[in-house]
Amino acid sequence: MPSIPMTENEERRVLKTLGLQSTEDLFVSVPPKIRDAADFKIDLGEMDDHTGRGLTEHELRLYFHKLADKNAYAGKYTHFLGGGIYDNIVPAIVNQLTLRGEFLTCYTPYQPEISQGTLQYIFEFQTLICRLTGMPIANASMYDGPTATAEAVLMAQRLSAKKEESVLIAGSLSPEYKGIIQTFLCGHSKMPVEIPWKADSTLDFDALASLTTEHKPCAVVVSYPNYFGSLEDLKVIKQKLPADCLLIVAVPDPSVLALYEPPGLLGADIVTGEGHQFGTPMLFGGPHVGFFCTRKEYLRQMPGRVCGETTDSRGQRAYTLTLSTREQHIRREKATSNICTNQGLIALRTTIYLSFLGKSGFLKLGETNQSLYDYLADALEHKGVIPQFKNALCYREGVFKVPNLTQRFKKAVALNMIPGIPLSKYFKEKEFNDSLLITVNPKHTKRDLDKLVEVLSHD
Amino acid sequence: MAIPKGLYYTKEHEWVQLDDNVATVGITDFAQESLGDITYVQLPKEGEVVKKDDPFGVVESVKAVSDLYSPVSGKIVEVNQPVLDAPEIVNEDPFSDGWMIKIEVEDESEVKELMSAEAYQEYVEEKG
Amino acid sequence: MIEQKSTQGLSLREGTIFDRSEKGRIGFEIPPLTVPRSHAKKFARENPAEFPEVSELDVIRHFTRLSSWNYAIDLGTFPLGSCTMKYNPRINEEIAAIPGLADIHPELPPELCQGALEVMYRLEKALCAVSGLDEVSLQPAAGAVGEFTGLSVIKRFHEKHGSNRKYVLIPDSAHGTNPASCSLVGYETITLKSGENGNVSPDAVKEALDKYGREVAALMMTNPNTLGLFESNISEIADLLHGIGAQLYMDGANMNAIMGIAKPKDMGVDVMQYNLHKTFSTPHGGGGPGAGPVAVRQHLAPYLPNPRVKFVDGKYILENLNDSIGRVKSGYGNFGVMVRALTYIFHHGSNGLKQVSRKAVLNANYIKKRLSEKYEVARNAPSFHESVFTDARQQKEFGVKTLQIAKALIDYGFHPPTVYFPLVVPGAMLIEPTETESLRELDELVDAFLDIAARIEKGEKFDNAPTKTIIGKVDEVGAARKPILSLDDRAH
């Protein structure tokens, strides 16, 4: 086994040093009943030769490439999937740099003297995220967008002086975000109350007003854009909230902030979101990277790691993890969260990507997504595939009523195309029966879009 | 380690000075030394009402955090703003400039139940 | 003094990436538009995000320089106790990057992602085999989420059986995430004083159960515990808990010690979490990503997170359970981490995994034996994969503390051990060598420790250590008093 260097000779040498007859003597504290039953067998499937040995690198490649070929991956299928996870082009240097062992195989930077590389990129990540969202502070990242949003809700409840810790969430929030918030709240408060949407899929302000009066929530969660691709008027929403109710804005697709005003400038108190499309593949849903931003006055209630700039004993600029008294390893049951660390490597990918893409590249990314979508939406409508939400202002994705959806979906798959997410999976209302959430990404060309229109507009 | 006479002390290492019915509360020299360099102080707002033994604030150093417990019941009539902006004052001068809050005491006997300087000295030595 | 591994070399200074920015410089290029250009019709962003304007080489140089300031497993021994910093075989990275495993969207219909579902199914089965437990959910994104998930499952189980319990018992030697996870789930924690060897004593459990009775939902314990010792009484403790319907949660952070040596199920464990980034060698990456799968006994399986992967009639399918606690992570969890872990498991096979634990325990005991010459061993009982030393001798006679010893070790070219944890041992140094270190490397580490001890005896204090690193001691107090958390804070 290449990763276990100890030879038989060395094992004897160690045993001699320890004054033991056999390695088994080290396990005397395990009761015999447990010790005797401890054997196990890993099933290596078709590669198993029943000797108990592991596979060689060559065999591993054979096995996993075969598995990989069974998946409809982006290089083989043109897909129009989104809804929180977005395909994007990953620059070569992102992979090259993150594979450097000094980044890949280091630990959480508890020892600042030998972790300045990690600490400095975290500081740069925090800076990029602040500038992206228009918020004054960001943490060192969280597991993903939905869990970051759930943590935001918990933070709002901690900040709330009220005993009643109701939370309102937009009904147009992604089903995954909703589900995860519910799971996180399960422990200690009422389930969040959903705010309905209007005909254009944005928040119903009348309902918002009556629900805030009724529930006196400590926070309202909206998505920007929402799950149906529409942009909310955050400024108006903020104005309609009572002073002690926080506005939490989830940004599942932060490329929107290239073109649209960031939530930080529109009254958001906490901004969360998912950053994986900036340099990290879809990976079947993870590992990805959540970002978490808030106002300065709420700093001490923020969950997760933060990195700060300071100086060292030689008067040089230096970075360190700071404000760790909020965290589990010091505060234990009183910690702001049980989160132990950040998504170091994925935050690094994000930092490299956004730096490389740069100010003008970021604008182009947003423009590309918007332009591809607008072209597609027009072309679909022209062929009778109409948007479900009239007059919705959409960025990069939207919901369309596709006649005979099941059949046309199958036809698309046969042409190596996955046309979108059928929403009946998440929304049981009848109006979603033939609804398809269609998402564009920068890999698409006019030809891909034309082909999709062709497939979706005919039986 | 300083333990000024004439003040009252708690087991949570806070001191209380009673002037008429107003109690000034801070943390002791022992407390600031155990915490190390204090980086953050969080205090309640004026006008809030506290009960004896309830947490009313927090002091933090780099590696430790400690709740502040109210030694008496009453209304908070003044908060020491300067220590919020410059927590190092608590390290430098815990018994004077580094005070935390002033409480209008409901029941002065609560203060009298606290430790004297001598009793606190003994308590600290026993613990330490 | 022995020769130190650290030496002088060309380490380059570097500002932030923003310092390299030059107005108008183009970095990465998006493909040209093939459709008419459009723009925001409402809410248009007034001022663009001020990202840097840099070239490809700027980015390469910047991050390569940064990387050179990090210590990593690839550079040398990383004996950080309780973190299992083992070597990360590179075949794992290659496999995880295969486009068919990386460029897949979680919303693919199951019939179009059979390969990905097989990865998950096989990994679940492997984790069942090692623990002896019946079912596994791979969804939790990290060990702490695994704890949250396991405790939520326990809570749901009790609720479904009509009992609303309040407390979780946790020994004082536990990792800080344990009590934090309990709070998140809405349980109050009762701290159990651990016995002399850091062990949980059945008497302490009995006492707590007598006091809190059927209000106790579970006991959370780590086995081997944070002192590296096996909890020999665990079955007895499990029986006590089960007697009143409470559950035994095992923090599986230390599974690297017991694969093929003891199965959690045989110990009486009802639920546990794995840490794939520890036991199964997925890279720690400066703090993540990880993955914290949860394994349970059959009676808890109905409450695991949705969706579940099943193999029915030759096909992998996804299934939602009615009583599930719901979702704890988007998608299916950290799939990229699962691919690496399965690669590692298949690479080692049953035989290899069993060797992993045997060799990890041998290495830890070897270090313990050799270091005990100069350092106080915290507990004199057979160690598993890690052992705890203290600064008692150095502090008592020479006034040198654990922190200085740890910092001095850096100048010798090693990462320090975990210090001041577990909390129950004053001045603790927790050392976990892992099985991937050779005896030669371990000898060098021990020699460095012994050299430091010898120098302390000669009167050195190491107050300024480390001296050879690119930066000196960091002003952590200044960092916390006036936080500068982004470049835009600097001006103020």
Average pLDDT over residues C99-109: 98
Q: Cα dihedral sign for C345, C348, C350, C355?
A: negative
By DSSP bridging, strand A290-294 and strand A137-138 are antiparallel
Whether A329 has its CB under 8 Å from any CB of chain B: the answer is no
Q: Would you say residue A48 lies in a domain?
A: no
Of C101, C280, C309, C122, the residue nearest A64 (C-alpha):
C101
**Residue from C132, C130, C151 nearest C140 by CA:** C151
Terminal-to-terminal C-alpha distance of chain C: 47
Q: Are residues A327 and A400 in the same domain?
A: no
- Residue A83, in any domain of the structure: yes
Residues A262 and A129 in one domain: yes
Chain B residue set in contact with A, beta carbons under 8 Å: 40, 42, 60-65
> CA B108 to CA C29: how far, in whole Å?
74
CB of C288 closer than 8 Å to CB of A342: yes
Dist. CA A197–CA A204, nearest whole Å: 5
Burial of A347 (0-12, 13-18, 19+ CB in 10 A): buried
Residue C182 near residue C170, CB atoms below 8 Å: yes
Q: Are C466 and A115 in contact (CB under 8 A)?
A: no
**Residues A146, A270 within the same domain:** yes
- pLDDT reading at A335 higher than 80: no
Q: Quick check: is B126 in a domain?
A: no
| Whether residue A324 is found in the same domain as residue A381 | no
pLDDT band at residue C3 under the 50/70/90 scheme: confident
Residue A21 lies in a domain: no
In a domain, A306, yes or no: yes
- In chain B, the residue whose alpha carbon lies closest to the alpha carbon of C481 is B39
Contacts of B65 in chain A (CB under 8 A): 325, 330-331
Does the pLDDT at position A118 exceed 60?
yes
Collect all residues of chain C within an 8 Å Cβ-Cβ radius of residue B60: 480
**pLDDT value of residue B127:** 67
Percent of chain A with pLDDT over 70: 97
If you ran DSSP here, which 8-state letter would residue C255 be given?
Answer: G
CA C431 to chain centre: 15
Inside any domain, residue A59 = no
* Residues A84 and A105 both lie in one domain: no
d(CA A372, CA B91): 61
Contact state of B62 with C481 under an 8 Å Cβ cutoff: no
Query: Is residue A26, in this structure, part of any structural domain at all?
Result: no
Residue C492, pLDDT above cutoff 60: no
The arithmetic mean of pLDDT across residues B86-101, rounded, is 94
Between positions 101 and 120 of A, the ones with CB within 8 A of B are none
Cα separation, B15 vs C74, whole angstroms: 53
Nearest 5°: CA angle at A274, between A425 and A432?
Answer: 20
Q: Does residue B30 lie in a domain region?
A: yes
Assigned domain for B89 exists: yes
Instruction: Name chain B's partners: 3 or more CB pairs within 8 A.
Output: A, C
Query: What is the total count of domains within chain A?
Result: 2
Specify whether the backbone of B74 is left (phi greater than 0), alpha (psi in -120 to 50) or beta: left
Q: Max CA-CA distance within chain A?
A: 84
Position A381: which residue type? E
One domain for residues A82 and A113: no
Q: Residue C194: what pLDDT? A: 84
Residues A106 and A84 grouped into a single domain: no
E strand intervals along C196-279: 216-222, 247-251, 271-273
Judge if A108 and A195 occupy the same domain.
yes
- Judged by a CB distance cut-off of 8 A, whether residue C475 touches chain B is no
Residues A205 and A103 in one domain: yes
C311 forms beta bridges with C316
At residue C304, φ and ψ (nearest 5 deg) are: -60, 160
Q: By C-alpha distance, which of C7, C423, C419 is closest to C225?
A: C423
Domain endpoint, select from A319, A353, A387: A353
Mutation target to probe the A interface, by most A beta carbons within 10 A, among B39, B43, B49, B65 is B65
Across the range B59-84, mean pLDDT stands at: 91
Q: ipTM strictly over 0.90?
A: yes
Q: Per-residue pLDDT tens for A236-250?
A: 999 999 999 999 999
Tokens matching residue C347: 């690479």
Query: What is the predicted pLDDT for the residue at C491?
Result: 67
Domain assignment present for residue B35? The answer is yes
3-state secondary structure of C380: coil
Please indicate, yes or no, whether residues A290 and A383 belong to a single structural domain of this protein. no
Q: What's the CA gap between C479 and A311, in Å, rounded?
A: 8
C132-166 pLDDT, tens digit per residue, is: 999 999 999 999 999 999 999 999 999 999 988 99
Q: Which domain holds residue B38?
A: 11-105
Taking all residues of chain C, what is their mean pLDDT, rounded to a whole number? 95
Q: Identify whether A264 is part of a domain.
A: yes
Same domain flag for A349 and A374: no
Report the domain count for chain B.
1
Torsion sign (Cα): C137, C140, C146, C149: negative
Q: Is the dihedral of CA B108, B109, B115, B118 positive or negative?
A: positive
Contacts of B43 in chain A (CB under 8 A): none
> Per the confidence metrics, is the pTM higher than 0.90?
yes
> Closest Cα to residue A300, out of C357, B70, B87?
B87
The pLDDT tens digits for C335-382 are: 999 999 999 999 999 999 999 999 999 999 999 999 999 999 998 888
- Say which CATH number the domain at B39 has: 2.40.50.100
Reply yes or no on whether the pLDDT at C483 is more than 90: yes
Q: Is-contact B124 B30, C-beta < 8 A?
A: yes
Give tens-digit pLDDT for C378-419: 988 888 999 999 999 999 999 999 999 999 999 999 999 999
Specify the pLDDT at position B128.
Answer: 54
Domain assignment present for residue B6? The answer is no
- Say if residue C128's pLDDT is above 90: yes
Contact criterion met (CB < 8 Å) for C480 and B88: no
Q: Regarding predicted confidence, which is higher, A332 or C161?
A: C161
Q: Which domain holds residue A401?
A: 78-89+364-456
Does A11 have pLDDT greater than 60? yes
Which domains occur in chain C, in start order?
92-347 (3.40.640.10)
Alpha helices in C213-311 (DSSP H): 234-243, 264-267, 276-279
| CATH number (domain holding residue A281) | 3.40.640.10
Residue C193 or residue C302, greater confidence: C302
Would the pLDDT of A330 be above 70?
no
- Chosen domain end from A298, A333, A353: A353
**Looking at residue C47, what is its pLDDT?**
96
pLDDT interval class at A162 (50, 70, 90):
low
Same domain, A203 and A127: yes
Q: Is residue B127 part of a domain?
A: no
From A330, A353, A376, the end of a domain falls on A353
Angle at alpha carbon of residue C195, lines to C193 and C200, rounded to 5°:
75
